[in-house]
């Protein structure tokens, strides 16, 4: 157990729907990162939050949004889902921005299947 908890582990939904993926960072970690892993795109950085504030944005679609709450858990919202959004979505955390330079801890991921 890495200490980063992601729920649900699996999600199957239809095109056009909206889903919310949840991440609880490791205890004491302030930074949360979201990544998408797909066969054709590999691991793509989506977004980073630090202590509730957005810090960096990657290749995140406008249909996707995220936030980090006061208790530091984070949610990734995916809307108007398309078949191509099917992927593994990983959350990771680090103690602070500087510690991110030393690598961060990943959760086990949420596998999203859009049918």
Partner 1 sequence: GDSVTQMEGPVTLSEEAFLTINCTYTATGYPSLFWYVQYPGEGLQLLLKATKADDKGSNKGFEATYRKETTSFHLEKGSVQVSDSAVYFCALSDQEGGGNKLTFGTGTQLKVEL
Residues of this chain that bind partner 1 (CB under 8 A)? 2, 4, 31, 33, 42-43, 45, 48, 50, 55-56, 58, 90, 92, 94, 97-98, 100-109
45 is written with which tokens? 């950085």
- Cα separation of 9 and 16, whole Å? 21
On the question of a cis peptide bond just before residue 93, with omega within 30 degrees of 0, the verdict is: no
Provide the minimum distance between the beta carbon of 96 and partner 1 in the complex, in angstroms, as a whole number: 9
Provide the minimum distance between the beta carbon of 39 and partner 1 in the complex, in angstroms, as a whole number: 10
Residue number with CB closer to partner 1 (25 or 109): 109
10 is written with which tokens? 């699996």
58 is written with which tokens? 């990657």
Provide the minimum distance between the beta carbon of 17 and partner 1 in the complex, in angstroms, as a whole number: 25
Residue number with CB closer to partner 1 (45 or 52): 45
Provide the minimum distance between the beta carbon of 49 and partner 1 in the complex, in angstroms, as a whole number: 9
91 is written with which tokens? 């959350």
Place of tokens 């299947």: 113
- Cα separation of 90 and 73, whole Å? 14
Residue number with CB closer to partner 1 (33 or 64): 33
């Amino acid at each position: 157990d890495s200490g980063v908890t992601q729920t649900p582990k699996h999600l199957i939904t239809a095109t056009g729907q909206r889903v919310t993926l949840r991440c609880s960072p490791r205890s004491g970690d302030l930074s949360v990162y979201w990544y998408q892993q797909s066969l054709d795109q590999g691991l793509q950085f989506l977004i980073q939050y630090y202590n509730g504030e957005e810090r960096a944005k990657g290749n995140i679609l406008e249909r996707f949004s995220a936030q980090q709450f006061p208790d530091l858990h984070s949610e990734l919202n995916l809307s108007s889902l398309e078949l191509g959004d099917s992927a593994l979505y990983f959350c990771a955390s680090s103690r602070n921005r500087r510690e991110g330079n030393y690598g961060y801890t990943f959760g086990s991921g949420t596998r999203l299947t859009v049918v």
